[in-house]
Structure formats: C-alpha cells, structure tokens
Structure 1
C-alpha cells in the first residue's frame, strides 16, 4: 500500500504538504501547482486513503445523504446527482442517495441515513419549489437543491427563473418577433411565476406592453394542443416563449397544421434542453438549459465547506454550461441559466 511518505519522496515535498493536499486542506496553504503535482503523483502511485483511519481521526464518516422528493425518478435526476457525486468524490466523500414520495417514506429514509452516520444532507424536490424541511433534519448540516425554504434557515440553490423568462423573451425580440406569446404552465409553480415575470419585464424594458391575450397557460395533451391552436388562430403570434420544451412541441405541431415553418415563419424558445424534445424536433429547439449538474456540484461543495468549517478552492471547479456562483453568495442562490442556440429562432430579424 502506497504511503504519504512514499508520495512525498516521489514528489520532492514534505509529508505534511502531502497530508494537507490529500485531506483536502491545501487551499490557501499550498501552491496550486504544487498541489496538482502531489495529486498527480498520488494517482500515479495508486494511493488509496484509509477511510476508517481518517474517520477515527476526524470523527466523520465522509458520507453525505442525498434525499430526493420525487427527483430520482425524473429525467433530470442524473445531472443533479452526478454533479453532487463528482464534487464529493474530489473532496473524499461518498454520496448515498434515497428517494421518498410521502412524508412517511421520507422519514424512514432519513432514519436509515442517520444510522449510517452521514455527516450532512442534500435535500431536493422534483421541481423548484418552496419546501418545508423535516424537523428530523433541522440540526444537521443541510443544503437545499433546486428548492428554497420559506424562512431561509438553510443554504439553497435554484435556477434564476426570472432571468429564464427575461432572456428567452429578449432573444425573440432581438430576432424581430413583433407578437410574442407565452405558453405557460397552468399549475401554480415557482418556475411559472418567475418565468412569466421575466417575460413581462423583458417586454416592458423593450418598449412593449403586456397583452394578456398572448399568454396561454396549459397543462398537457389534447386540451393543451387545442389551446395553442386557438392562440394561433386568434392572435397570430410570430414568437413563442414556452415554459418548457414539452410545451414547445404543441407550438411545432400547430405550426405544421397551419403550414408555417418554425425558424422561418415563427420563432420558438423552450426551457429544459430535454434530450427527447430539444434534439428530435426539426428544426432543433433553441432552449434554456436548466443547471441540474451545476446545482448538485455547488450544493455538495457548500455542504462540505459547512461540515469542515473552511473555505474550498473554487478555482478547481470544472467548466460548466452555466457559471456556478461563489460559495459565499447569500441564499437563496440563483443560477443564471444558459440559452442554447439551435434552429428554432430565425436568424434574420423581421421588419414587422
């Protein structure tokens, strides 16, 4: 088994420097280039930390519990969990993931994680929402992911829903669309409120008034398609900001029925960058990608910084589609999401 002393000799540094780096305590103490050399040397020599010895020394298990409320069964769970796992792996922690759809199931899973002695919790919901944190978690280090808590007692991170609506609508305005519709969600949601507010503000900032006839909030299936068809017939929009990529499909379908070409006669922007819709619609859908990976990665780093009561080296973070906020950003932390240009927005502004 490779020891820290052997790594120190191979890298030409002190054992204490190796210890600081391999225990994640090098930030502000060890030159970053030297720290990278130590890590590369340790990896090349096949170093494996003694987790049991470290746990006894620090009184930690180096395990984190990820509790999801209907998240693990959604298409977006992978990115969020992968982000958290990547961050924790680089920090020497292991992630344990559980899912619960009822209060009773959640409490059962929380008790199980506590029996494993996890050092802290990540807590997430299926979609951005204001959550009530279970009392059983109140005394543990905790970070909310894609959610916020009404009293703001815990750090949290979520998409900037207002900027999603603002950026999508601005893109359509820049494309020359004169009548921009919002195909929203008929359910009361944090995302719906924020995206609609961003849509209205963008119109206002560009000298346009909000016309409630151009707002069409729908659920799904036949009724949604018929509502979008009525919007086409009565208001004749030439730009569409859609609450998500699934609702953009209704616009594509209705445009085809009316003999209109998306990306030429009308422009469409969705939200999600959902692989099924964003990659299979023709032309491909210009969309705003939700920062699931980024939220998971940031939340895991934030949690470890709380557990270890120290700053982390944010300079080592990976390049991601959306820029991750700094760890000391006040909560609720909002991520400015990235618009992914594809083919559903016309390239040349119209003169309408």
Structure 2
C-alpha cells in the first residue's frame, strides 16, 4: 500500500505537504504546480486514502444516507439514486440507500444509518410532494429530493412543474393545434397544480381562451378511458397535453377506436419519458423527461456543500439532459425539464 511518506519522497516534499494536498487543504498553502505534482504522483502510485484514519482525524465518515419513502419501489428510483451516487463518488463519499413505507419503518432506518455515523441525509418521497420531515433528521445536514418540507426549512429540488405544462402546451400550439385538451390527474398533487397552471398560461400567452370542457382529470382505470372518449366526441380537440405518459394511452386508444392516427389527425405530448410507454407507443410519444438523475446529482452536491468539509465546483458538473439550477437557488430549486421530440406531434421528428 502506497503511503504519504513514499509520495513525499517521490516528489521531494514534506509529508505534511502531501497531507495538505491529498486532503484538499492545499489552497493558499501549497503552490499549485507542486500540488499538481503530488496529485499526479499519488495517482501513478495507486494511493488509496485510509477512510477509517481520515474519519477519526476529521470527524467525518464521508458516508451519506439516502432515505427513500416508497421511492425505491418505483421505476424512477434508480435514476435518482444513480445521480446521487455518481455525484457523491466524484466527491469522495459513499452512499447508503434504505427504504421505508411508513413512519415506523423510516425511523428504524434512520437509527441504523446514524449508527454508521453518516455525515448527512438525502430524503425523497414517491412523486413530487410536500412532506413532514422526521424530527430525527432535523439536526443533520439534509436535502430533499423531489419533495419539499411543509415549513421550507431545508434545501430541496423538484421538477419545474409549471414549465412542464407551459412547454408541452406551447409545443402543441407551435404545431398548429388550436383546440388543446389537458388530460390531468384527479388526485391533488403539486405536479397536477403546476402542470395545469402552465397549460392555462401557455394558452393565454398565445391568445387562446381556456375552456374547462377541455380539461379532463382522471385516475388510471377504465372510467378514465371513457372520460377521454367522451371529451373527444364532444369537443374534437386536435391536441392533447397529458399529465403523464400513462394517461396518453387513453388518447392513443381513443384515436385507434375512431380510425384516427396520432401525429397526423391529432397531436399528443406526455410527461415522464417512461420507457414502457414512450418507446412502445406507435407512433412514438413526444414527451417531457422528468429529471430524476439530475435531481439526485444536484441534491448530492448541495448536501456536500452543506456538510462543509470541501468546496463544490459547479463548473465541473457534466452536461445533462436538463440544465441544473445553481446550488444557491432558492428552495425548492426547480429543474427545467427537457421535451423529447418523437413522432406524436404533427411536424415532429
């Protein structure tokens, strides 16, 4: 195992200089060209820091706990967790993920993570929602992912739900649609409120009147299909903005039963970029991709900045599908989601 002493001998500097550089405490203390030589030598010699010794010295374990409330059982969890894990790995941290489906289970997982001496927590619930943060987390550095705490005490990140509705509706207007329906969600959710508001504002900004007969809020069941069919037969919309890709299926089915073709006779935009729906529908569904990876990545960086034992350089962030908000953005930080052009909008790909 390569030691700091061996690196110091290779570069011709003191062990204390090597220690400063490899613990990211060289700023203003070690000349940049010497610090780079130390890092290059450490990489060439295969140096691996002793995590236990470092934690004893710094009182940091460099472990982060990810508390998932029903998230780990959803198809999107992997992207949130992967984004967080990639960011933390780049920053020298280890991520431990646990899941709980009720308050008792969550408290048990929090106690277990505390026994590991985690430096901070990421906390996420299924779908964008307001949550009551467990009191046992409040004394730790904490960032919420795809959630906002009721009192807005902690930094958080979520999709820009308003822009989702606005951008989807605007795309349909740009495609020449003049009678646009919104197939929404019957459940009260942040996403439903924001997307419906974005839909209405886009209509207003383009000189089009909102007609409540063109908004149909449904659940995922047979009744929903009948409601969409009734809306189409009564109003004959030429464009549909759907709360998610699953609800876009009702529009596709409605069109098929009437001998119509999506992308020619009507245009459709969904939300999620859910692989099962967005890639298997024919024609393929134009959709707005939710930024699960981006939210996980941003939240992890924000947490490390809050822990405070090292700086976070936003200029080094990789390019992603959706641009990330700055770390000092007002909470909840909102990610402007990206519209993925496929085949379900007239004049599309």
DSSP 3-state at the match of 1:171? helix
Deviation at 1:25, TM superposition (A): 5.2
Q: Distance in 2 between matches of 1:297 and 1:76?
A: 14
Q: Distance in 1 between matches of 2:327 and 2:6?
A: 34
Q: Distance in 1 between matches of 2:64 and 2:211?
A: 48
Deviation at 1:86, TM superposition (A): 0.6
- Does residue 186 (structure 1) correspond to residue 186 (structure 2)? The answer is yes
Name 2:226's counterpart in structure 1.
226
Q: Distance in 2 between matches of 1:65 and 1:183?
A: 37
Name 1:97's counterpart in structure 2.
97
Any conservation in 1 of the 2:172–2:345 contact (CA below 8 Å)? Answer: yes
The alignment of Structure 1 onto Structure 2 pairs a total of residues equal to 348
Deviation at 1:279, TM superposition (A): 0.7
Question: Could you give the per-residue CA deviations for residues 212-245 of structure 1, whole angstroms, max 9, x where no partner exists?
Answer: 0000111012111111111111111110100001
Deviation at 1:88, TM superposition (A): 0.8
Deviation at 1:319, TM superposition (A): 1.2
Change beyond 3 A, Cα 1:92–1:250: same
Name 1:300's counterpart in structure 2.
300
Change beyond 3 A, Cα 1:24–1:73: farther
DSSP 3-state at the match of 2:73? coil
Name 2:329's counterpart in structure 1.
329
DSSP 3-state at the match of 1:95? strand
Name 2:177's counterpart in structure 1.
177
Change beyond 3 A, Cα 1:328–1:118: same
Change beyond 3 A, Cα 1:257–1:330: same
DSSP 3-state at the match of 1:226? helix
Q: Distance in 1 between matches of 2:311 and 2:326?
A: 11
Q: Distance in 2 between matches of 1:170 and 1:154?
A: 33
Listed as ranges, the matches of 1:50-129 within 5 Å are 50-129=50-129
Question: Could you give the per-residue CA deviations for residues 188-216 of structure 1, whole angstroms, max 9, x where no partner exists?
Answer: 00000000000000000000110000001
Unaligned runs of 5+ in 1: none
Change beyond 3 A, Cα 1:185–1:25: farther
- Does residue 150 (structure 1) correspond to residue 129 (structure 2)? The answer is no
Change beyond 3 A, Cα 1:273–1:14: farther
- Does residue 138 (structure 1) correspond to residue 101 (structure 2)? The answer is no
Deviation at 1:150, TM superposition (A): 2.2
Deviation at 1:149, TM superposition (A): 1.3
Unaligned runs of 5+ in 2: none
Change beyond 3 A, Cα 1:209–1:140: same
Any conservation in 1 of the 2:129–2:148 contact (CA below 8 Å)? Answer: yes
Displaced runs of 4 or more, over 2 A: 2-47
DSSP 3-state at the match of 2:124? strand
Name 1:199's counterpart in structure 2.
199
Deviation at 1:328, TM superposition (A): 1.1
| Greater displacement, 219-228 / 7-16 | 7-16
Change beyond 3 A, Cα 1:21–1:275: farther
DSSP 3-state at the match of 2:184? strand
